[in-house]
Amino acid sequence: MTETILEIEENHASPSLRAAFGPDRKNASMGIGIGDTVSLTIWEAGPGGLFATSTTAADGGTTSGGRTMIPGQVVGQDGKITVPFAGRIRANGFTPAQLEDQIVQQLTGRAINPQVVVSVSNRVSGSINIIGNNVALPRLPLSPAGDRILDVIARARAATSSVENTEVRLTRGGRSSAIPFTRLLQDPSENIYVQAGDNVFLTENPNELTVLGAAGRNTAVKFGAEVFSLGQAIANAGGLLDHQADPSGIFVFRMEPHDGRRDSNQRGGRPTIYHVDLTTGMSIFQANRFQMRDGDVIYVATAQANALQKFIAVLSAARGEVSAIGSL
């Protein structure tokens, strides 16, 4: 393995939410949308108006007020709601303040100096979906102040105790990208704002590689941390077998994505083999710089001397002359 290859690997395009979804900005619109539940409260300045009501006071007299509360109604597929004496009024795309102005305009000339307050009790359009630990959580409405990924994860209580093995995936429109939860915690720039309609998935998905050949154990090695080197992988598999392994013949088999991104959604990839020679002191440093990925296969070659010993052993068994060949 050359220094050039190490530099290419270290500069390899790492998965990044910030890079995948462009400029970081707050939710583009907190307007009312189709499916939201809207409640209205309407006041009039004096008695005798459209919304005038009469109530009995404690002293037996009568007081008049012009407040009317209209129960919550869902914004229809046409984007409108019904307002008494005003008919169907468009709500989709308007903020509560803008909708208040629209209703006041429609009631002016009919009601006595009308005033309107609009409240959204169930914001479906301005919400996101969160799925954590294979459990779908209720839709989470976004706040007008803006919510980042860690904000919504904390509000939904979707975090898992196995943070080092957890992957956070964000899908928006036709794009999708995932990063380790540990990186999201360590790199503030990755804690981007979520947008209405986003889907956030938290899955425990430890990475896994396979070690074969003349290693201490032929086994699958799981690793959850984002940084896991070739040296660590070999150590986790019991190191190299004395008198059997060839330290100059360490091979890493990997499917490199065609587009160069580690979180690529492309199927397949380019079969790539990396050769590592651990017979020099500098190569140990290189092994600790070369980072492993999910699905990698490490093969430790057998030493040539060990191959000769195997050949002699087979020949000895066939001829029954173990001591003679051993002496030879």
CB 221 within 8 A of CB 152: no
169-to-60, 84, 194, 200 alpha-carbon distances in Å: 64, 45, 12, 6
pLDDT of residue 92: 92
CB 59 within 8 A of CB 102: no
CB 121 within 8 A of CB 59: no
CATH number of 37-122: 3.30.1950.10
User: Rounded to whole angstroms, how far apart are CA atoms 148 and 60?
Assistant: 55
- The phi, psi pair for 6, rounded to 5°, reads -60, -40
- The reply to whether 17-27+126-204 and 207-310 are identical in fold is yes
First CA to last CA distance, the chain = 38
Residues of the chain predicted below pLDDT 50: 55-64, 265-266, 321-328
CATH number of 207-310: 3.10.560.10
pLDDT of residue 197: 87
Cβ within 8 Å of residue 57, ≥6 positions away: 63
pLDDT of residue 25: 79
Per 3-state DSSP, the chain is made up of helix, strand and coil in percentages (nearest 5) of 25, 35, 40
CATH number of 17-27+126-204: 3.10.560.10
Q: Tokens in use for 185?
A: 């915690």
DSSP 82: E
Domain boundaries, the chain: 17-27+126-204, 37-122, 207-310
Q: Considering the entire predicted model, what is its pTM?
A: 0.64
User: Rounded to whole angstroms, how far apart are CA atoms 117 and 59?
Assistant: 31
Q: Tokens in use for 197?
A: 């309609």
